[in-house]
Amino acid sequence: MKKIILIVLVMLCSISAFAQDYKTHKVKQGETIEDIAKIYLVTPFDIYALNPDAKNKLDLNTVLIIPTSRVKNEPIPETVREVIGFKKHKVKRKQTLYSISKDYNVSIEDIKKHNTYLYSENLRKGDRIKIPRYKTIVSQVSFNNTVKKYKVLPKEGKWRVAYKFGITVPELEALNPNLGDVLQPGQEVNVPNISDNEEKTVEENYNYYTVLKSEGYMALNRKLGVTQEQLEALNPELKAGGLKLGMVLRVPQTAKTELVIKDVENTNLSNSLTNFSGKKIALMMPYRTHRIDVDSVKEAKKAIRKDALLKVSLDFHAGALMAIDSAKRLGISTYLKVFDTKNQPSEISKILNDNDFSEYDAVIGPLLSKNLDRVATELKKDNVPVLSPLTMPEKLYDNVFQTIPSNDLLEETIINFVKSDSLSKHIVIISDSKHKRISDKLKQEFPLAKQIFSRKNKKGEEAYFVYQTDLENVFVNGRNIVFLETDNEGFASNVISMINGFISDNKEVVLMTTDKNRAFEGREISNYHLSNLKFHYPSPNKTTDISSSRNAFVRAYRRQYNVSPNRYAVRGFDLTLDLLLRLASADDLYQASSGDIETEYVENKFRYSKKLFGGYYNEAVYIVKYDNLTIVEAKL
């Protein structure tokens, strides 16, 4: 009898505790577990843990147990704004919806809501619009299993906030209908009202990846190199709920989250210009004009010929000026301030101390990475974008734009190029021991490839050659692709001339490399052989036919300077024009640099991706090839 009473007491205690920690939900027509989880702001994993049968079948009127212990029910102050009238505003020249919204401290959506024609038409000078005036009402609202206000911390983007509170990026956006593309420090957003100890921590020794539309485990394995088992171990909620659009996954640090190659159609930004306010740009270059005798034309020309940094700076500057002129014809006015860094840290410090850059839309340069790092660090507090024009930044801060694709990205691009070629092919990898890393990587990507290394001398030192016999019986009838990985001109000449001799009516030999360096440009290298081998390589830029009179930029440059533009002048034009068009198509450069925007100009293209813990990098790469002694873009 005592045992029975004890069991009853235990059951009553269990029921009492259960009632306090859980609630129930009756399934309605058409509801899914994901829908129900959103209502109570718990994860599907939480529901499945208490309702294992729901994994197999979810019937109408089924009663589910819903956990509530993670959710707080404290009253939260809610601010409501009520329209009490309007103020008339006459639009002035260069004013935009963005600038007007800032002047009156209202949102762009607020202005459009009360001037509905702006949903379909652009704002024009002389327009008379209504600006709503509000009064603020603060009330205490009790949120039962809903949301709370969260203040965004520095460096936190949407994915960080979503991960922290266990929801997807689309769910975060659904909780905040007017959320912009970029979160600002101190901005208040709606998030699930979970307990503080339930918030997830973003750990620096992991990478994080946001799931895209229709991505499954196989796609993620190909893209990130991570198996389903590894993902489930790091993200236990996957076992119950599976992958969802916008879900933020914790992945190993070795996962290739920054080298995802994708095809994006080119965007013509000149067709989507909306922000015609004047642009304020700074150009920082190592002109070192203090070393030039400007009173003597002869001495000045001599200095330009001898000073490589000065020549590059002047050529880039000339291209940038032409871009500003082209943008002006599209209605974009630009204030350009030029600074001579003198390639000295002390001069850069002086420039930063003597000038207020907080109102600048962007800074191009300095040219060298160590100096750019100094400028980026200083301007980071004002969130001013700093573009690295020709070199790789030492550190990719949140406000830095790396405009030159990285070497890793170049490697991935040509590997993907070969993989996506549906034609049957036989692959041979030839390298010296210095380039064994990339040789082994290529062997891993193409397991059936033949791997050959340069010979060594009697002392065991690199001799930088291969024998003819090393290549006999290596090539097959049909298409042969040879990856040559070296920075030694003699070895490159040895291999190139030798494999050129294997081309026949039955055998096609195509030469490729992941790194086209000076070894492929030396005097010993035959351009006829490179053309005969259809030499392919990845490049940040393609080559323009300078002799062509059809190129508008080339024609304009010749008229202006009486010479043809070199690659630095073209780079200055392409980068500056892209910057101005992006600034004119959005409120700022950050909003205009989403990964679905790819632009292309004379020789360069730009598609920016945001690094998880840093700034933006250009992932647009060309594959070019030698064709009849000219270099053209290679396409499958």
Give the chain's length.
Answer: 636
Q: List C-alpha distances in Å: 58 to 41, 238, 396.
A: 19, 19, 48
322, 328 Cβ separation under 8 angstroms = no
The model's pTM: 0.62
Q: What is the pLDDT of residue 208?
A: 84
Query: What torsion do the CA atoms of 541, 546, 549, 553 make, to the nearest 10 degrees?
Result: 50
Reduced to 3 states (helix: H, G, I; strand: E, B; else coil), residue 282 is strand
Q: Say which residues have a Cβ less than 8 Å from residue 239's Cβ, sequence separation at least 6.
A: 45, 232
CA distance 536 to 468: 23
Q: Which domains does the chain have, with CATH numbers?
A: 23-69 (3.10.350.10), 75-142 (3.10.350.10), 269-404+557-616 (3.40.50.2300), 408-539 (3.40.50)
Which pLDDT value is given to residue 268? Answer: 87
Assign residue 418 a region (left: φ > 0; alpha: ψ between -120 and 50; beta: otherwise).
alpha
Q: Mean pLDDT, to the nearest integer, of 572-581?
A: 97
Residue 80 binned pLDDT confidence (cut-offs 50, 70, 90): low
The rounded distance, in Å, linking the Cα atoms of 259 and 616 is 13
| Bridge partners, 614 (sequence order) | none
Q: What is d(CA 348, CA 27) in angstroms, rounded to the nearest whole number?
A: 65
How much is the pLDDT for 1? 44
Say how far apart CA 455 and CA 512 lie, in whole Å: 21
Q: Residue 169: what pLDDT?
A: 80
Q: Nearest-5° angle of CA 170, CA 231, CA 251? A: 75
For residues 362-374, average pLDDT:
94
- Reported as a pLDDT band with limits 50, 70 and 90, residue 19 is very low
Torsion of CA 319, 325, 329, 332, to 10 degrees: 100
617 contacts 406 by C-beta, under 8 angstroms: yes
pLDDT at 512: 97
Q: Is 166 left (phi over 0), alpha (psi -120 to 50) or beta?
A: left
Q: Cα separation of 615 and 373, whole Å?
A: 12
**How confident is the prediction for the chain on average, in pLDDT?**
84
Residues forming a β-bridge with 598 = 266
For residue range 136-156, list pLDDT tens digits in order.
765 554 444 457 788 888 778
Distance in angstroms (rounded) separating the CA atoms of residues 579 and 360 = 13
Determine contact, residues 92/119, Cβ cutoff 8 Å.
no
Tell me what percent of the residues of the chain surpass a pLDDT of 90. 42
Each residue of 377-392: pLDDT tens digit?
999 989 999 999 999 9
Name residue 463's amino acid.
A
Closest residue by Cα to residue 334 from 382, 376, 275: 275
150 vs 186: CA distance, rounded Å: 9
CA distance 230 to 6: 45
